Amino acid sequence: MADATAAYETLIIRKEGAVDWVTMNRPDALNSLNPKMISELQDYFLKLYTDQSVRIVVLKGAGRGFCAGLDLKASSIARTDTGDNARGGVVEGLKTQRAISEIVMRMRRCPQAIISLIHGPACGGGFAFALASDIRIAGTSARMNAAFIRIGLSACDIGVSYFLPRLVGVSVASELMMTGRFINAARAERVGLVSEVVPDEKLEEAAQPYIDEMLTTSPIGLRLTKECLNMSVDAGSLEAAIAMEDRNQILCSQTNDMKEGIAAFLQKRKPVFTNS
């Protein structure tokens, strides 16, 4: 059966075993989000939810940047109509806004680890996609910002106000969001927004150790680690976080992969996990 991802017009999916390399592919528009790309990103991340053959997703942009955010020429959010047409603009604008927000929600719901490789501009929605990823690696050219405050909108957009203060603290998040100023790769690494900075041409190479190490873990262990991290960020107490951890450990302990992991450790060999 043909791979459905081959039908995407704005995404390139390269499958390497349990890893999907996903490239946003509108390089002439700095991979800005038009309706087609929004729809295809929604579709891709929704399908991941039940696809246990994919364990890791690497998200990147074609050409000179990661993603420049919303394509203002194609979006109803950016309409400048007045009078009666403005009401249609609000309705259509909210529809588009929710469509983009849903991508971020699906990125967090899917059990796969997501690594973003960021080079050039990652603005607005592109910034949100980077923040919604589990691991971020920046190229030296990376420049990220909460762009919409600079064109009359709020910087609290597509989950940015949720993720950014949790990653860098309220003070730095407030600075970036209230000014719309760019944060470059060096500072992003300094404040803990990205794991490391490498030359742009080394981004894929830099991702490989993360991939290799995650692939040595059991499939269910990796999935439940992402789930528990999601829950623990918003846990109301230490007790709530530990309850989730206890539940996940017992689930993992009942699997064949847990037995294989222990046997491999004792025999000083690599484990062969079967996701069972």
CB-CB contact of 13 with 22 (8 Å): yes
- Does the pLDDT at position 83 exceed 60? no
Average model confidence (pLDDT) across the chain: 91
Question: What is the mean predicted confidence (pLDDT) over 229-257?
Answer: 91
Least confident window among 46-50, 83-87, 233-237, 246-250: 83-87
- Across-strand partners of 13? 22
Confidence tier at 151 by pLDDT (50, 70, 90): confident
Question: What is the mean predicted confidence (pLDDT) over 226-244?
Answer: 92
Question: What is the mean predicted confidence (pLDDT) over 243-256?
Answer: 90
CB-CB contact of 205 with 137 (8 Å): no
154: Cα separation from own chain's centroid:
21
CA dihedral 36, 39, 42, 43 (to 10 degrees): -100
The CA distance from 224 to 49, in Å, is 13
What pLDDT shows up at residue 85? Answer: 45
CA distances from 216 to 11, 51, 123, 224 (A): 28, 19, 34, 15
Question: What is the mean predicted confidence (pLDDT) over 216-229?
Answer: 95
Confidence tier at 84 by pLDDT (50, 70, 90): very low
Question: What is the mean predicted confidence (pLDDT) over 239-246?
Answer: 90
- Across-strand partners of 115? 58, 135
What pLDDT shows up at residue 86? Answer: 44
The CA distance from 253 to 272, in Å, is 16
Confidence tier at 75 by pLDDT (50, 70, 90): low
CB-CB contact of 111 with 61 (8 Å): no
CB-CB contact of 115 with 134 (8 Å): yes
CA distances from 184 to 6, 43, 140, 242 (A): 34, 31, 8, 36
* pLDDT tens-digit map of 28-57: 999 999 999 999 999 999 999 999 999 999
Instruction: Name the DSSP letter for residue 27.
Output: G
Where would I find the H helices in the chain? 35-48, 84-109, 125-132, 160-168, 170-179, 185-190, 203-214, 219-233, 238-253, 256-266
* pLDDT tens-digit map of 161-215: 999 999 999 999 999 999 999 999 999 999 999 999 999 999 999 999 999 999 9
Question: What is the mean predicted confidence (pLDDT) over 60-84?
Answer: 75
* pLDDT tens-digit map of 91-143: 877 888 899 999 999 999 999 999 999 999 999 999 999 999 999 999 999 99
What pLDDT shows up at residue 88? Answer: 54
For the chain, what percent of residues have pLDDT higher than 90?
76
